[in-house]
Amino acid sequence: MSKLTLKTEGDTHVVITRRFAAPPEAVYRAHVEPELIQKWMLGPEGWEMPVCLIEARPGGKFRYEWKNAKGQGFHITGELLELRPYSKIVHVERMFLPEQTPDNHVETTFEPDGKGTLMTMRMTLPNAQVRAAMLATGMESGMETSYVRLEGIL
Amino acid sequence: MTMGNLDAAFAALADPTRRAILARLAKGEATVMQLAKPFAMTQPAISQHLKVLEEAGLIVSRVDGARRPRRLAKSGIEALDQWLGMLRKALEKNYDRLDEMLAAMEPKKKGEAQ
C-alpha cells in the first residue's frame, strides 16, 4: 500500500508521484527551505546532510552535501529555473560522486488533492544510457540497506 | 531473475570499475583491449571483472576470430528495471521522513522562514 509511484517514460524520462497528507504550501516549502530539506532528504539510514545551501529564487543556485559515519560522501549542485509558490519548481541538478554526472532536468508540481497534495516529479535525462546510469546510482546509495533486506529474504 | 542471480548482479554492481565497464558497454560492443584502455588496468584484471559481470548475467560475449567482444546482456537491461524498485525504496524512506516532518509542521507559518 505504498503511496509512491516511480516509472520510466519514453527513453529519457523518470516520473515519480507521491501523495502527502499536508497542503501544497507545506510540501512546497519542504522542498525549498534548507532547514526543512535537511530533516528529510537524507536517503538511507545513517546519512546526514551537513551542507544545504539554496538561493530560493529563479536563477538561484543550490548545493546539497551528504555524509555518513564512515566518512563517505557525495554532493549535488543545481540551479532553480522556475519557482511558482506553492505549485511548481523547475530545476537542473547534477551529482558529484565525485565524478560529475550529466544534468538531470526536474519539473516538480504540487497539486491540491483533497486535504492533501499530489506531488509529481518529472525528470528528463540527456539520453537512455544516462537514465539507466542514474537509476543505477540512485540504487547505489540504497545498496547497503538493500543488502540487509536481501539477507532477510534469503 | 532468480534470487541467486539478483544477488550476483548486486555484488557485480558494487564495484565502480564494473559499473564503468557497464556504462561503456551501454554505448556498444567492446573488446577487452578497448575496455582496459580507460581504466589503466591490465587486461587480466579487466578480464576478471568481465568474468564477474558475465556470471552475473549482465554481459555476454561472442567469438570473432581471436577476439571475444562483450556487450550488455538483455537480461542486464531488464535488471535495470529491477533497480527501479530499489531506488523506489530509498525514495520512500525520504518521503516517509517528510510525512513525519509535515505532520509536525504547523500550518500558516510561511512568513517565518527567512
- Structure confidence by residue, pLDDT tens digits, A15-73: 889 999 999 999 999 999 999 999 999 877 788 999 999 999 999 999 999 998 888 88
Residues from chain B contacting residue A45 (CB–CB below 8 Å): 93
User: How many Å apart are CA B6 and CA A94, to the nearest integer?
Assistant: 28
Cβ partners under 8 Å of residue A52, min gap 6? A34, A35, A37, A38, A63, A64, A65
Mean pLDDT of A76-104: 92
pLDDT at B78: 63
Residue with cell 536517503: A43
- Most B CBs within 10 Å: which of A19, A53, A140, as the mutation test of the B interface? A140
Is there a contact between A139 and B87 if contact means CB atoms under 8 Å apart?
Answer: yes
Specify the range with the lowest mean pLDDT, choosing from A33-37, A105-109, B91-95: B91-95
Q: ipTM > 0.85?
A: no
Q: How far apart are CA A114 and CA A110, in angstroms?
A: 12
Which residue, among A1, A61, A117, A140, has the nearest Cα to B90 in the 3D structure?
A140
Of the candidates A27, A35, A146, the beta carbon closest to that of B10 is on: A146
Q: Does B13 touch chain A (CB under 8 A)?
A: yes
Q: How many angstroms separate the CA of residue B80 from the nearest CA in chain A?
A: 7
Tell me which chain B residues have a C-beta less than 8 angstroms from the C-beta of A150.
3, 6-7, 10
C-beta separation of A78 from A62 below 8 A = yes
Mean pLDDT for the stretch of residues B42-47: 92
